[in-house]
């Protein structure tokens, strides 16, 4: 048993991880909502679940304890009297439902669900108008009527939360604390509520030190945070993560109480576009001195190092010169690191496989990583370079634009 949280690297033997198995929320995706809900296509649910179960089984076979987000949230809500009702109200606020009567009808629907995990799953699934008892006579406002009128409104009163299977993003374990992230998009901000309650009320994880909180105005997402070593993290300045959020996070990690153990924060500026969405779609660590990288990033990077400044509470910032491998070697305290290019030197394979998360790997131990099976060119190169691969079937899971690293939140790793 590994109690609590302990993440001081990206590669130490993985002991405990949090996943979320895709569920009925994917059935509430439709062509018109793909854009705002950040999907590129609609996955075939049954197959996505089969692939995800295979992912979870491979982790378990490696001796990793696999926890599920919805189960943890349900345990948290059951642990404290009143937590379930508080969660429902908070989730309703975040859903942004305009009509008062509609809100009451959704609350009734939630209250009719006995099992708390089923309640949590319902909140992820979304709510359709035809599930509600909201006759025109009960509707209190135009907003209520528009929500439920077959000809005027959308069939969905509350959207699904389909990206929640990317558990990497809404909160990030750093050391034995957590950055509860402030997500950029509306759909992903709604995910934050689940982490918030887990970290507030869960018997084991409640009371975890928070290095950042989701109510902060500056956006930061977990895919941009890589724990490179016991005292050093990397953060992407990206489409999703603003420099101001990194300033705040760094100040807290470097100076706050309780101590985080972090003494250096490397901020990597990456292009603001969907294929480079987060730092972990650009590079991930596969061994003590080895990373797999998107070749598109080589040569274009601006990097800063943030450390304690001279005066209490002050953060010193230095712009770093050098290539990505030199900067990563400096961060890890090594003479050199090896970068393995996603897709090798083939310009089409490299962009195609990066689009399908070829450089988004999850290490279960140094030199042993989970990868998507579909990225054959990259996987072949990694194997030839001596990295042991566990390949996950990935035809459907990849349609959400995230790989094994995005689909997992590591809770506990042994020291390297
Ligand atoms: N860390 C990651 O890169 N996560 C993948 C998130 C994919 C999701 N569809 C999103 O756009 O946020």
Q: Summarize pLDDT for 14-46 with one digit per residue, the tens.
A: 999 999 999 999 999 999 999 999 999 999 999
Q: Which pLDDT tens digit goes with each residue over 390-416?
A: 999 999 999 999 999 999 999 999 999
Residue 66 and residue 77 in one domain: no
Instruction: Name the band, by pLDDT with cuts 50, 70 and 90, for residue 115.
Output: very high
User: Is residue 8 assigned to a domain?
Assistant: no
Instruction: Name the band, by pLDDT with cuts 50, 70 and 90, for residue 301.
Output: confident
Q: Please, what is the angle between helix 186-201 and helix 83-95, to 10°?
A: 170
Atom of ligand 1 nearest to the CA of 274: 11
Q: Which residue has the higher pLDDT, 184 or 151?
A: 184
- Our count of domains for the chain comes to 2
Cis peptide bond upstream of 258, omega within 30 = yes
Protein residue with its CA nearest to atom 6 in ligand 1: 402
Residues 6+ apart with CB under 8 A from 166: 223, 400, 402, 406, 407
Residue 208 and residue 330 in one domain: yes
Q: What is the pTM of this model?
A: 0.96
- Overall average pLDDT of the 172-195 stretch: 97
Question: What does the alpha-carbon distance between residue 285 and residue 292 come to, in Å, rounded to a whole number?
Answer: 6
Pocket (CB within 6 angstroms of ligand 1): 38, 163, 166, 168-169, 188, 223, 277-278, 280-281, 400-402, 406
The answer on pLDDT for 135 being more than 90 is no
Question: What does the alpha-carbon distance between residue 41 and residue 379 come to, in Å, rounded to a whole number?
Answer: 24
Predicted confidence at residue 47, as pLDDT, reads 98
The answer on pLDDT for 275 being more than 70 is yes
Instruction: Name the band, by pLDDT with cuts 50, 70 and 90, for residue 154.
Output: confident
Residue 275 and residue 363 in one domain: yes
Question: What does the alpha-carbon distance between residue 173 and residue 116 come to, in Å, rounded to a whole number?
Answer: 25
- 97 within 8 A of 103, measured Cβ to Cβ: yes
Predicted confidence at residue 338, as pLDDT, reads 97
Residue 189 and residue 158 in one domain: no
The mean-pLDDT minimum among 228-232, 320-324, 387-391 falls in 320-324
Of 162, 180, 210, the last residue of a domain is 162
The answer on pLDDT for 7 being more than 90 is yes
CATH code of the domain covering residue 119: 1.10.3930.10
User: What burial class does residue 263 get, using C-beta atoms within 10 Å of its C-beta: 0-12 exposed, 13-18 middle, 19+ buried?
Assistant: middle
Residue 371 β-bridge partners: 391
- Please give the order of strands across the beta sheet that includes 409-413: 65-68, 14-19, 409-413
Residue 167 and residue 316 in one domain: yes
Choosing from 88, 123, 342, 406, the catalytic residue is 406
- Overall average pLDDT of the 152-167 stretch: 90
Residue 128 and residue 35 in one domain: no
User: What burial class does residue 170 get, using C-beta atoms within 10 Å of its C-beta: 0-12 exposed, 13-18 middle, 19+ buried?
Assistant: buried
Atom of ligand 1 nearest to the CA of 240: 12
The answer on pLDDT for 145 being more than 80 is no
The answer on pLDDT for 337 being more than 70 is yes
Q: Which pLDDT tens digit goes with each residue over 351-387?
A: 999 999 999 999 999 999 999 999 999 999 999 999 9
The mean-pLDDT minimum among 95-109, 256-270, 309-323, 338-352 falls in 95-109
Predicted confidence at residue 68, as pLDDT, reads 98
342 is annotated as an active-site residue: no
Mean pLDDT of the chain: 94
Instruction: Name the band, by pLDDT with cuts 50, 70 and 90, for residue 202.
Output: very high
Predicted confidence at residue 150, as pLDDT, reads 60
The answer on pLDDT for 148 being more than 70 is no
User: By residue range, what is the domain housing residue 87?
Assistant: 71-162
> Is the complex ipTM higher than 0.90?
yes
Of 114, 136, 162, the last residue of a domain is 162
Residue 298 and residue 217 in one domain: yes
What percent of the chain shows pLDDT beyond 70?
A: 97
Residue 57 and residue 78 in one domain: no
Instruction: Name the band, by pLDDT with cuts 50, 70 and 90, for residue 300.
Output: low
Chain position carrying tokens 């975040």: 94
Question: What does the alpha-carbon distance between residue 323 and residue 306 come to, in Å, rounded to a whole number?
Answer: 18
Q: Tell me the best of 160, 163, 238 to mutate to test the pocket of ligand 1, counting ligand atoms within 8 Å of each CB and taking the most.
A: 163
- Continuous segment of H or E residues that includes residue 102: helix 100-111
Instruction: Name the band, by pLDDT with cuts 50, 70 and 90, for residue 320.
Output: very high
Of 162, 194, 213, the last residue of a domain is 162
Instruction: Name the band, by pLDDT with cuts 50, 70 and 90, for residue 288.
Output: very high
């Amino acid at each position: 048993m590994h109690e609590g949280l302990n993440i001081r690297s990206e590669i130490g033997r993985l002991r405990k991880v949090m996943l979320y198995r895709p569920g009925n929320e994917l059935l509430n995706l439709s062509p018109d909502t793909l854009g705002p809900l950040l999907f590129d296509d609609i996955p075939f649910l049954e197959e996505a679940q089969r692939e995800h179960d295979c992912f979870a089984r491979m982790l378990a076979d490696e001796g990793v304890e696999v926890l599920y987000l919805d189960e943890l949230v349900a345990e948290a809500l059951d642990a404290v009297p009143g937590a379930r009702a508080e969660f429902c109200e908070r989730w309703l606020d975040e859903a942004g439902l305009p009509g008062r009567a509609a809100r009451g009808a959704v609350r009734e629907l939630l209250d009719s669900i006995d099992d708390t995990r089923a309640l949590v799953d319902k909140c992820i699934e979304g709510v359709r108008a035809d599930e509600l008892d909201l006759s025109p006579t009960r509707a209190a406002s135009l907003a209520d009527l528009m929500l439920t009128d077959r000809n005027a409104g959308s069939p969905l009163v509350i959207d699904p939360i389909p990206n929640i299977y990317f558990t990497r993003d809404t909160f990030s374990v750093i050391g034995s604390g957590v950055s509860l992230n402030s997500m950029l998009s509306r759909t992903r901000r709604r995910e934050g509520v689940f982490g918030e309650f887990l970290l507030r009320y869960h018997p084991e994880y409640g009371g975890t030190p928070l290095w950042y909180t989701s109510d902060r105005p500056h956006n930061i997402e977990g895919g941009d945070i890589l724990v490179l070593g016991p005292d050093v993290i990397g953060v992407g300045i990206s489409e999703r993560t603003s420099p101001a959020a990194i300033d705040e996070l760094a100040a807290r990690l470097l100076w706050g109480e309780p101590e985080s153990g972090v003494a250096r924060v490397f901020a990597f500026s990456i292009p603001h576009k969907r294929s480079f969405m987060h730092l972990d779609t650009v590079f991930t660590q596969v061994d003590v001195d080895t990373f797999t990288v998107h070749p598109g990033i080589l040569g274009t990077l601006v990097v800063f190092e943030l450390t304690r400044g001279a005066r209490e509470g002050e953060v010193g910032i230095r712009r770093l010169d050098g290539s990505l491998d030199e900067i990563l070697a400096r961060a890890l305290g090594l003479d050199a690191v090896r970068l393995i290019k996603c897709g090798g030197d083939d310009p089409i394979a490299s962009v195609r496989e990066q689009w399908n998360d070829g450089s988004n790997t999850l290490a279960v131990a140094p030199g042993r990583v989970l990868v998507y099976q579909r990225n054959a060119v990259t996987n072949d190169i990694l194997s030839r370079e001596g990295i042991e691969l566990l390949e996950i079937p990935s035809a459907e899971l990849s349609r959400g634009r995230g790989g094994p690293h995005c689909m997992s939140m590591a809770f506990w790793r042994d020291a390297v």
